[in-house]
A and B are shown apart, each in its own frame.
Chain A
């Protein structure tokens, strides 16, 4: 079955540091890939997405590139801010055996940015 593996957290960075959160996946089909962000006490929000190989999704200074050859979708940001402190979830969307869309989430990576 499909699966998503994220790097373990928590990740603690100083403000303005470079961020990378690794995400790799396995899928039977040709999935779409997503990053969601969850701020404390809130639900998940779609951060960015990519739907085919070599696509780059970007939003709010974050970006991730769909790498089919390495089955990866790493999240990066050049300069993090305290307001980026949140839990980040990598996810993929694929069709299951019944033809229905199925989304598989990673376990989440907590990011803490300190001033």
Chain B
């Protein structure tokens, strides 16, 4: 019963480097989300997906891309990392037919861009 698994847990990048964060869920949830968490800013939605093969922009999508080729996986890509992308990234999933279901979150990826 893994729930939502994020890899890696920690990463340090140099400015301009690229990387992909992986989120995997084993609950057969339709919806998946990527958030970033910064001090004093709460959670901000980057991108989300309402099903396999679909993606949509959240409130802070610039500098990120996503893909959902398989229902259980949601990838977040940084093509050219910038120091402003230093943050903790959380993936979440939900069974969206029921708006009272709530989200299941992963444990986060702490990314530092130097």
Residues of A within 8 A of B (CB): 31-32, 34, 36, 41-46, 49, 51, 89, 93-95, 100-101, 103, 105-108
Contacts and interface: CB of A to CB of B under 8 A. Distances in A.
A44 B96 contact: no
Contact of A93 (B42, B99, B105): B99
5 contacts: A43-B4, A43-B106, A44-B105, A93-B99, A93-B100
Contacts of B92: 44
A49 B103 contact: no
Interface of A is mostly: strand
A44 B88 CA distance: 12
Contact of B90 (A41, A44, A101): A44
B63 interface: no
A41 B31 CA distance: 24
A44 B100 contact: no
Contacts of A51: 100
B107 A43 contact: yes
B99 A107 contact: no
A60 B94 CA distance: 23
Contacts of B31: 101
A105 B31 CA distance: 17
A63 B4 CA distance: 26
B12 interface: no
Contact of A44 (B50, B99, B103): B103
A100 B50 contact: yes
B93 to A, nearest CB: 12
